[in-house]
Amino acid sequence: MDYPKVVLFDAYGTLFDVYSVGLLAEQLFPGQGQALSILWRDKQIEYTRLVTTSDNGAHYQPFWELTRAGLRYACKRLGLELGAEREQQLMNQYRHLSAFPENREVLQALRTRGVTTGILSNGDPQMLGVAVRSAGLDGLLDHVISVDGVRKYKTHPDAYRLGTQAVKRPANQILFVSCNAWDALAATWFGYRTLWVNRYRLPFEELGTEPTRTGSSLDDVFAFFD
């Protein structure tokens, strides 16, 4: 099979560490930082699915607002007193999530090879812009694509279709990279070639479909070019 012409990356969980907010959460709520970061993320993703599938997307809200709603729910669930000041601190931290260390080198190497690169993310445009600049990745991405344009979150096919439309390539010429197993699975169903970056050594989804490849870091993207 020919080398991929384009590599699109998921953002949250793949380029940016969504659990890095746990460090600040631990300072604010000693002993609860990890639990809060995990529940916050789970609720955030649950809300994306809820607003996408309910009443044909009539209840859509931008990812930033769903992130705030997920934080509020997680704190209530854990019995933590959030308050306006702590909420602002944690939300600001989410704007500037830690980037995984190999990001810049991988993106630079792909550009050197002449490969088109981009992000295809649930994040709304403002969130993505801040995250990309904060991580020093601006200038290394040809496309930053937000599902906000169709008001449907991944795993809806319309969200993945934004990638093919933006780069003007069929799905089988595009490699989609995600650390989220559900995302890699749905992208495979859509027709992308996929790399699941299994950073946390988890089992893949048990729905009868495997990603094209599985790796442990973004460096494994180069297996598609060997």
pLDDT in tens, 5-55: 999 999 999 999 999 999 999 999 999 999 999 999 999 999 999 999 998
**What does DSSP assign to residue 12?**
B
> Is 0.85 topped by the overall pTM?
yes
Q: What distance in Å separates the CA atoms of residue 183 and residue 164, rounded to the nearest whole number?
A: 16
Instruction: Considering the candidates 2, 10, 42, 55, report the single residue annotated as catalytic.
Output: 10
119-138: pLDDT as tens digits: 999 999 999 999 999 999 98
Nearest by Cα to 11 from 111, 110, 146: 146
pLDDT of residue 1: 65
CA separation (Å) from 45 to 48, 105, 174, 204?
5, 29, 24, 17
Catalytic status, residue 148: no
- Mean pLDDT, to the nearest integer, of 102-120? 96
Go through the domains of the chain in sequence order and give each one's CATH number. 6-16+98-225 (3.40.50.1000), 18-95 (1.10.150.240)
